[in-house]
Structure 1
Amino acid sequence: MKLPFSKKEKQVKPKKEKKVKVRTVGKRKKSVLFLWILLISSLAFGIYKNFTAIDQHTVHEREVVENHIVDTAAIESFARNFVKDYYTWENEAEALEERIEKLTDYLTEELQTLNTDMVRDDIPTSSTVQNINIWSIAEETENTFLVVYSVQQKITEEKDSTLTSATYRIVLHQDEQGNVVIIQNPTLWDKPKKSHFTPDQVESDGTVESDTAEEITLFLETFFASYPTATEQELAYYVKNNALPPIEKDYTFSELVNPVFQEQDNQIKVWVTVKYLDEETKAIQLSQYELTLEKDINWIIVE
């Protein structure tokens, strides 16, 4: 049985739960907007740089060296003429005067004065130039050239004659018009000597079988027997791409000397000395060849 509530009694109501305030970070927040702007700007700048920047890995600087070609034909001719006149004299007053006059065409005035006493009036010898060798012509500075040469003289004194030779260097100047003058007197120098260089000796490396080597040897003997007198049309049967020119000489084939064979890239390399008798001079002619052969219908020289 339920008892009625009295009016004075207050009815207890349940407590309401307090709502938790949640901060929402949205697009409209200034800090977030700034970050979005920064991100988009960075992305756009990166794309721009990707299309406009120079790819440094593909840029290669190349130094172009231009060859400075100098025509030394005039220098050589001038030097040869000078050497001939400078080292030629006779022990006669008139001839000596003519020599001095000729040298004015080659030497500066200072050098003309310097060479006045080279050949004295009472010199007992006469000289004629037998041979001139120009060993080198080098450009020291612009328009200045160094010429090294050797001269062989026949020196005659009374009834006796001897041969003498020496090497000298002179310095020449060539102006813009191509005119040349000697600016330094002949000075004793040294001529080139024999080099001690020895090339590597080629040897057969076993890549060519003996049957093939014999076949090629027979081909080469047949070819070189007819080669000296063969016409261009006849050579076409043995030679491709004008690998060997017609020589049209009266040579008689003797033998192949020490042929060496190597197979390289489906071709046969041959190093061989060919021995001929020169019918005109009666001397032995030894010609050395480095050939490349290919097998078609028959063997043919391609290089």
Structure 2
Amino acid sequence: MKLPFRKKEKQVKPKKEKKKKVKTVGKRKKSVVFLWILLLSSLTFGIYKNFTAIDQHTIHERETVESHIVDTTAIESFTRNFVKDYYTWENESEALEERTEKLTDYLTEELQSLNTEMIREDIPTSASVQNINIWSVTEETENTFSVVYSVQQKITEDKDSSFTNATYRIVLYQDEQGNLVITQNPTLWDSPNKSDFIPEQVDSDESVETETAEEITEFLETFFASYPTATEQELTYYVKNNALPVIKKEYTFSELINPIFQEQDDQVKVWVTVKYLDESTKAIQLSQYELILEKDNNWIIVE
């Protein structure tokens, strides 16, 4: 049996969609390169600023102060010699001329001329230096120093004598070879006076037991009785680490005056005045000590 013939229908193929064009930004485009350069520049600048900021905070300037020690021995000796010649004179023409000649070794030519009128030819007095005290030597500028000193003079007029004391200040110049010259004439000055300072008084704080205080007192009486004439070897029985020097004096021990005791850790600190009779002068010698003692087998002075 034959099947009826069917005419095949023509199939319609779907239309292909056109591909959309996609714009891509190439890596080599100028704008992208510029952005990368900008980014890297910003990053580099930031790192640089960070490191430089740390350096600024961690670097500190330090000022080094070097100690400057000046040997004033020559200045003091020069000043003493000047004072002796300057404040000594006799009321005789020849002696006055000799004094004027001596002063040329100390004064500038200007000061030599200025001082010609200090001692008149008809001066009725003679003077001699009894004592000189140098109170200070101060470096004013480089190579320039000021000296403050006191001088005691014995003034004689006819058969009468008296003593006078005054303080002066001079200025000296010292060259690189150490030579000295006075550039400013003796000028009246003030001398140091007694200070009003009162040291703090020390009292026993009862930290040391009575029995211990009696032991230490007995030890100190024994020690100070032999101390003035003790040899270095003998001192080793009482003193450690050369805490007290050998003195070799003819002193006779009398007593301890008002010893004060304070306990410090395993040691005892003692403040004491020791009364001696000086056999050579027959005067009383009062020596004051601050001692630190400790006990091993026996008491010993360690400082």
Please confirm whether the aligned pair reaches a TM-score higher than 0.5, indicating the same fold. yes
Residues in 1 aligned to 2:242 and 2:256: alpha-carbon distance in whole angstroms: 22
Q: Quickly say closer, same or farther: Cα 1:64–1:188, change in 2 above 3 A.
A: same
Identity between Structure 1 and Structure 2 (%): 79
Superposition pairs of residues 224-263 of structure 1, within 5 angstroms: 224-263=224-263
Return the offset for 1:55: 11
Residues in 2 aligned to 1:150 and 1:243: alpha-carbon distance in whole angstroms: 37
Residues in 2 aligned to 1:183 and 1:134: alpha-carbon distance in whole angstroms: 18
Counterpart of 2:132 in structure 1 is 132
Residues in 2 aligned to 1:55 and 1:226: alpha-carbon distance in whole angstroms: 68
Residues in 2 aligned to 1:235 and 1:61: alpha-carbon distance in whole angstroms: 53
The AA in structure 1 aligned to 2:296 is D
The AA in structure 1 aligned to 2:237 is Y
Counterpart of 1:216 in structure 2 is 216
The AA in structure 2 aligned to 1:105 is D
The AA in structure 2 aligned to 1:195 is S
Q: Which runs of 4+ in 1 moved over 2 A?
A: 53-57, 59-65
Return the offset for 1:64: 3.4
Q: Quickly say closer, same or farther: Cα 1:216–1:99, change in 2 above 3 A.
A: same
Q: Secondary structure at the match of 1:275?
A: strand
Residues in 2 aligned to 1:235 and 1:179: alpha-carbon distance in whole angstroms: 48
Deviations 1:67-121 (CA, angstroms, capped at 9, x unpaired): 1100111111111111111111111111111111111111111111111110011
Q: Quickly say closer, same or farther: Cα 1:276–1:76, change in 2 above 3 A.
A: same
Return the offset for 1:143: 0.6
Residues in 2 aligned to 1:264 and 1:175: alpha-carbon distance in whole angstroms: 54
Return the offset for 1:275: 0.6
Structure 1 position 187 matched with structure 2 position 168 = no
Residues in 2 aligned to 1:221 and 1:61: alpha-carbon distance in whole angstroms: 58
Counterpart of 1:148 in structure 2 is 148
The AA in structure 1 aligned to 2:267 is Q
How much is the aligned-residue C-alpha RMSD, in angstroms?
2.2
Q: Quickly say closer, same or farther: Cα 1:227–1:145, change in 2 above 3 A.
A: same
Q: Quickly say closer, same or farther: Cα 1:270–1:62, change in 2 above 3 A.
A: farther
Q: Secondary structure at the match of 2:223?
A: helix
Q: Secondary structure at the match of 1:115?
A: helix
Q: Quickly say closer, same or farther: Cα 1:240–1:55, change in 2 above 3 A.
A: farther
Deviations 1:251-295 (CA, angstroms, capped at 9, x unpaired): 111111011111112110001001111111111111000000011
Deviations 1:181-212 (CA, angstroms, capped at 9, x unpaired): 00000000111000011110111111111111
The AA in structure 1 aligned to 2:278 is D
The AA in structure 2 aligned to 1:170 is I
Residues in 1 aligned to 2:205 and 2:60: alpha-carbon distance in whole angstroms: 42
Normalised by the length of structure 2, the TM-score is: 0.81
Counterpart of 2:288 in structure 1 is 288
Number of corresponding residues: 259
Q: Secondary structure at the match of 1:112?
A: helix
Residues in 2 aligned to 1:239 and 1:60: alpha-carbon distance in whole angstroms: 50
Counterpart of 2:264 in structure 1 is 264
Counterpart of 2:69 in structure 1 is 69
The AA in structure 1 aligned to 2:262 is Q
Structure 1: stretches of 5+ with no match in the other structure: 1-37
Counterpart of 2:88 in structure 1 is 88
Q: Secondary structure at the match of 1:114?
A: helix
Return the offset for 1:160: 1.1
Return the offset for 1:65: 2.2
Deviations 1:1-48 (CA, angstroms, capped at 9, x unpaired): xxxxxxxxxxxxxxxxxxxxxxxxxxxxxxxxxxxxx9xxx9xx99xx
Residues in 2 aligned to 1:237 and 1:109: alpha-carbon distance in whole angstroms: 65
Normalised by the length of structure 1, the TM-score is: 0.81
Deviations 1:219-239 (CA, angstroms, capped at 9, x unpaired): 111111111111111110111
Q: Quickly say closer, same or farther: Cα 1:215–1:56, change in 2 above 3 A.
A: farther
